[in-house]
Amino acid sequence: MTKSTSASKKDFIPGEVVVYPSHGVGTVTKIETQRIADQEVKLFVISFEQERMVLRVPLHKAAASGLRKLSTQTAMEAAFETLQQPKGQLRGIWNRRATEYNAKIKTGNPVSLAEVVRDLYRAPGQPEASYSARLLYEQALGRLSHEVAAVERTELQAATGKVEQLLNAA
């Protein structure tokens, strides 16, 4: 499994596309200095277009927060391979599985996102999933598709189509 590494505070520049684990793909819009409790704090200002949100992350806490560069094409290939593997065993109580899926989504790791998407995917003709399962599936699919679109420099719809095509081929 290829793991994306968190970057040091000097690794991000304005205009760069990054991944913040609990929000997905965003763009560093600028680096600003704010005065907080009599201290000057440098902050990355990150815009998340899909969530219509702006996040400020202190430079010295960027690595600890999990802020990282986009995954490599190799990491994306590992996620695509995961999508094509058979579904994991769906055993145990749904609440525990849902908690596990939510934790995987919050890591922002493409392979973990692919595992959630693969396990919760319902092919046409299968019974419909529960409301909470659909929400988790859509959240994981959205995060994975946004990163695929950013890595492959393509439209979100094309990236989502590629992910769904891999799921249908499995």
The per-residue pLDDT for range 43-61, each reduced to its tens digit, is: 899 998 877 889 899 888 8
Which long-range CB contacts under 8 A does 14-17 form with residues at least 24 apart? Answer: 16/69, 17/70, 17/150
- Please tell me the predicted confidence (pLDDT) of residue 151: 92
Q: 2 in helix, strand or coil?
A: coil
Which has the closest alpha carbon to 81: 114, 117, 116, 103?
Answer: 114
What is the pTM (predicted TM-score) of this model?
A: 0.83
d(CA 26, CA 14): 11
The per-residue pLDDT for range 89-113, each reduced to its tens digit, is: 777 788 899 999 999 999 889 999 9
The residues near 153 (Cβ < 8 Å, ≥ 6 apart) are none
The per-residue pLDDT for range 113-123, each reduced to its tens digit, is: 999 999 999 87
Radius of gyration over every alpha carbon of the chain, rounded to an integer in angstroms: 17
Structural domains of the chain ordered from first start: 17-69 (2.40.10.170), 73-169 (1.20.58.1290)
Which has the closest alpha carbon to 76: 118, 109, 121, 120?
Answer: 109
Percent of the chain with pLDDT over 90: 47
d(CA 33, CA 127): 52
